[in-house]
Structure 1
Amino acid sequence: MSGRTSKPTVGALREAGESSPVPAVLTWLAWSLFAASVAALVARVRLEGAWELPGAVAVDGLTVLLWVVVTFFSGVVHSYSRRYMAGSAHETAFFGTVFAFTLAVIALVAADHVALFWLCWLAMGLAMARLIGAVDGWPQARAAASVARRSFLASSALLGVALATLWWATGATTVSGVAASADGLGGPAWFVAAAALVLAAMIQSALVPFHGWLLSSMTAPTPASALMHAGFVNAGGVLLTRFAPVVTADATLMLAVVVAGATSALLGKLLKTVQPDVKGELGCSTVGQMGFMIMQAGLGFFGAAITHLIVHGFYKAYHFLSAGEEVELGAPGEEDRSGTSAVGAVVVLATGLAGGATFAVLTGKGTSVDSGLLLAALVALTTLHAARSALRQTALSPAARYGAIPLVFLPAIAGYALVYEAVSSVLAGVPMVSAPTELTALHALVAVAFLAAYVATETGVHERSERLYVALLNAGQPAPETVLTATEEYNEY
């Protein structure tokens, strides 16, 4: 292609003796950190007392739990990348950046001083932007990295405003100190801090309308995408959990968080329907799932948000790392598009309701008139959706599917409820892990609107509007400068 100035970045595989030792060493270190994190989690569960460096670092249940999750994903990504990045001119830099990102997250979840917390948040974003533009000789990759970097810098700026305002309003220089002084917050200072925290979380978790950076990040190497979707985007939930005493100070703000999450959950599902490629679909799925996570935080169940980000992390890491296989093999099976029979509809509805009831009984959420009812309803809706999708698969006869659906999904929901309880027990001592809000007419209105939009989507009503289709197609497009517009650009030579 004329005018090309980029250098070839991938060549023949190096001989074993010529390989850099950096990938092997960093992979070993990543798995060593995972082993150490598991030991720290066990010790934290068994031992009481504070683990802290006063004024700088505080290790609690949330810290050690996220250490285990992050280091596990990092170990998997390091191991996967040993072959994926072999022969790349950027191999050593890639491994160094992934490991630096891991260290930034490890430090972030342990940071207690607000300045250290902010620096780790900034470093985490800059490292991820570098991974998105890992191939520096690729103009589209550089453009995608620039788009992401601008978003992450905006998130860091908002977080800086929030932390500076909280320091000014409370006099506390630590996250724990801010949490302890949150009861006295109010007025314009609280509003500025809380709004900035929520917006920073929304940008980092790629909620609508800040999802553009995520959809523009497909230039990232697949293992970097797995780390991004399994770990990085979850930072919004971690931020809201750390500063839960600030966010929960006003019921109106919490309702606004629910609305923001619900909007992103629905639009993520809709945007997924117009994506032509596997990674694009996974990206929109992440937008929707992060919406559900933020919804749970807005309902006051921060333990549920942490559980959701852990489960979603495993799910999305697997799908990104196996995306190539999915492209090669195609769809796993045909779907029945003829519609759901009356018997099937009854089975799906009964399974969804039973799933919500199972979650409520095992966790106690949804057994009283508060936002726990909406949390249990979300579980029921998720179960219903999964059951309906399974019913469409034609690999089994209808009778077999009707019997298999409750036998598969109800134990799965019971397992999820037990994981939620286990996570909540580890988080004991973290402020506001569970802070259910009082149900209001506005909550009911949001729930009805969400359900109506969801039913309309499931029944295909949205497909009848050409205007909506075009709007979704436009909203789901990455930044133009990050897209390859000619097939010749795929040729490095």
Structure 2
Amino acid sequence: MSGRNSTTTVGSLPDTTAASPLVPVALTWLVWAMFAASIAALAVRVRTGFAWELPGVVAVDGLTVLMWVVVTFFSGIVHSYSRRYMAGSRLKTSFFVTVFGFTVAVMGLVAADHLALFGALWLAMGLLMARLIGIVSGWEQAQAAATVARRYFVASSALLVVALTALWWATGATTVSGVGAAADTLGGPVWLVAAGALVLAAMIQSALVPFHGWLLSSMTAPTPASALMHAGFVNAGGILLARFAPVITVDPALMLAVVAVGGASAIGGKLLKSVQTDIKGKLGCSTVGQMGFMIMQAGLGFFGAAITHLILHGFYKAYQFLSAGDQVEHTSPSEGNRHTTGRVTSAVGVGVTLLTGLAGGALFAVLTGKGTQVDSGLLLTFFVVFTTLHAARNAVQHASLPTAARYGAVPAVFLPAIAIYAAVYTGVSALVPVSPVTTELTLLHGVIAVVFVGIYTGIETGVHERSQRLYVALLNAGQPSADTVLTTAEDYNEY
């Protein structure tokens, strides 16, 4: 576009051990040492139930050590991957320091008990992530993306400050644990302000619709930073709701609203993904939808399920982003390809998909006891069925196996996977210091479920593709901020 000719020189990959700055090497080893220490702390917690606290400041419980293991593992992977990814970059040391600082901030957040410390670390976490998004100082689009993200994160922190102040005002407690202990006294306008602000803060941080703009505008971040963002940062909304579960569960009406908000984002993310054409954009919209499922589980009162979801989603998205280049190679456009939603048209394929989904839900209900009674646990199992249906459908459609082998492999793979998921959910729930808070099913729960099924079915059958107006609306809603879009490749030259 610029009229200049360039010569591309292809050579060997950079040697990460040669002339590597000391800081990246030291921080990588330190993070993996922290991971090993976190594993040891988790083992001690599981075997002895030991908990440690600095009264009024930090409290290390089961959720804390579990998240330490998860966070340090993802951070270790990102540090190790970045040794080669950032090799030769003048930003290497700055990038590693910021990633390590982000890791420490998250580890502190999940251990923080004092309300002021929790709020400060929440803000620090957001500012450090915004720094990673705009790590290339000379790139205008990266700086614009960092500015967009920073505004959202500051807004989230401001809402959290409102919530924490209201909770302190209502209970007189200055700690997260103190607020939880006094939750029975909450109610009225002050509680409503606090609970509403908590939910909004979680929605922004987890990029739920309509606050997904910062996530779709953050594609200027280096790939390992994107992996850390989608595998860890966006999960903070689930951690926030789990920490303040006693506040959220005061009123079933608020919990129902949280379910509705999560459901809207789960469907919205899937719709937005259907009009994306680039790998990172699709992964971003997928995250929006998956965070919606996480918030739904919290709204149903199953905070252990929400934590399980964010952990498994973290593993999945870390892998997806770090292998994004491989995905581009395998999905190169050809004349035979067209952008459309694939469908399982074979009657046998439809039958295998439906039976696998129903069997998966039944297995989950048997192993966990959720869904065996007419309460919010039934909806939890209902969404497990739909998740299994979606995954089974993709497998039936895309697996490169002979037809008969593919149909037999789907239940043989997915049913054991559901059993493993149920076991992980049970184990995580035992560590999360919040008991499930089941609520009675109401007509509104049924309406949400019916609407969810209707829209999901419409997407799967491609009905939404017939409306040009809907397509344009989704295309507009899925656009990043205009200032963050790179229109000329020559505008980006780190060196």
TM-score, scaled relative to structure 2: 0.94
Matched, 1:483 2:485: yes
Aligned partner letter, 1:392? Q
Cα-to-partner distance string for 1:410-450 (whole Å, 9 max, x where unaligned) = 111111001101111222xx1x3311111000000110000
- Tell me the SS of whatever aligns to 1:365: coil
Is the aligned partner of 1:398 residue 2:403?
A: yes
**Number of the residue aligned with 2:472:** 470
Counterpart-to-counterpart distance in 2, 1:22 and 1:492:
21
1:58 aligned counterpart, secondary structure: strand
Q: Which residue does the alignment assign to 1:433?
A: 435
Letter in 2 for 1:384: L
Alignment match, 2:203: 202
Amino acid of the structure 2 residue aligned with 1:487? A
Change in Cα spacing, 1:336 to 1:153, as seen in structure 2 (3 Å) is closer
Distance in 2 between residues matched to 1:23 and 1:406, nearest whole Å: 45
Q: Contact (CA 8 Å) 1:336, 1:393: kept in 2 or not? A: no
Task: Tell me the CA shift for residue 487 of structure 1.
Answer: 3.2
Report if the CA contact (8 A) 1:241-1:433 is conserved: no
Distance in 2 between residues matched to 1:188 and 1:172, nearest whole Å: 18
Q: Which amino acid aligns with 1:382?
A: T
The match for 2:345 among 303, 316, 340 is 340
CA distance in structure 1 between the partners assigned to 2:122 and 2:323 by the alignment? 29
Gapped regions of structure 1 (runs ≥ 5): 3-11
Cα distance change, pair 336–140 in 1 and its aligned pair in 2 (3 A): closer
Q: 1:380 is matched by which residue type in structure 2?
A: V
Tell me whether 1:359 sits opposite 2:361 in the alignment.
no
Distance 1:360 1:331 in 2: 41
The alpha-carbon distance between structure 1 residues 337 and 42, as it changes in their structure 2 partners (threshold 3 A), is closer
**CA 1:126–1:338 in structure 2 vs 1: closer, same or farther (change >3 Å)?**
closer
Are the equivalent residues in 1 in contact too, given 2:209–2:288 (CA < 8 A)? yes
Any idea what SS the aligned residue of 1:176 has? Answer: helix
Aligned-partner SS, 1:436: coil
CA drift of 1:14 comes to 9.1
Q: CA deviation at 1:15?
A: 9.7
| Cα gap change, 1:167 to 1:394, in 2 (>3 Å) | closer
1:336/1:394 contact within 8 Å kept: no
Q: Tell me the residue number matched to 1:273.
A: 274
CA distance in 1 between partners of 2:317 and 2:355 (Å): 28
* Residues 54 and 448 of structure 1, relative CA distance in 2, 3 Å threshold: same
In the TM superposition, 1:263-342 aligns within 5 A as: 263-330=264-331, 337=342, 339-342=344-347
Kindly provide the amino acid, as one letter, of the partner of residue 450 in structure 1.
F
Structure 2 match to 1:6:
none
1:378 equivalent among 383, 395, 400 = 383
Overall identity of the aligned pairs, in %: 72
- Please name the residue that 1:57 is paired with: 58
Q: Which residue of 2 aligns with 1:86?
A: 87
Structure 2 letter corresponding to 1:280: G
Alignment of 1:95-134 (within 5 A): 95-134=96-135
Moved more, 42-51 or 186-195: 42-51
> Are residues 191 and 391 of structure 1, via their aligned partners in 2, closer, same or farther at CA, if it must alter by over 3 Å?
same
**Aligned residue type for 2:375:** D
Whole-Å Cα distance in 2 between the matches of residues 419 and 50 of structure 1?
A: 21
**Distance (whole Å) between structure 1 residues aligned to residue 491 and residue 15 of structure 2:** 25
Q: What's the secondary structure of 1:109's corresponding residue?
A: helix
SS at match of 2:398: coil
**How far apart are residue 50 of structure 1 and its match?**
3.5
SS class of match (1:39)? helix
SS in 2 for 1:96: helix
Alpha-carbon separation, structure 1, partners of 2:176 and 2:216: 32
Q: 1:113 to 1:463 in 2, by over 3 A?
A: same
Contact in 2 for aligned 1:207/1:290 (Cα 8 Å): yes
Q: 1:481 to 1:395 in 2, by over 3 A?
A: same
What is the aligned partner in structure 1 of residue 234 from structure 2?
A: 233
Give the partner amino acid of 1:455.
T
C-alpha distance after superposition, 1:214-258 (max 9, x if no partner): 000000000000000000000000000000000010111111100
Aligned to 2:459: 457
Letter in 1 for 2:228: L
Give 1:403 deviation, angstroms: 1.0
Residue type matched to 1:109 in 2? Answer: V
**Residue type of the alignment partner of 2:180:** A
Report the count of equivalent residues: 481
Cα 1:458–1:364 change in 2 (3 A) is same
Q: Closer, same or farther in 2 for the Cα pair 1:17/1:378, shift >3 Å?
A: closer
8 A contact 2:207–2:234 mirrored in 1: yes
Could you say which residue in structure 2 is the equivalent of 1:220? Answer: 221
In structure 2, the partner of 1:447 is: 449
Q: How far 1:129 moved relative to its partner?
A: 0.3
TM-score by length of 1: 0.95
What is the CA distance between 1:13 and its match in structure 2? 6.4
The code of the aligned residue for 1:203 comes to I
How much is the aligned-residue C-alpha RMSD, in angstroms?
Answer: 1.9
1:421 maps to a residue whose letter is T
What SS does structure 1 have at the residue aligned with 2:221?
coil
How far off is 1:272 after superposition?
0.6
Q: C-alpha offsets along residues 262-281 of structure 1, whole Å, 9 cap, x if unaligned?
A: 00000100111111110110
Q: CA deviation at 1:408?
A: 0.8
Q: Give distance in 2, aligned partners of 1:339 and 1:104.
A: 45
**Partners of 1:487 and 1:88 in 2: how far apart?**
18
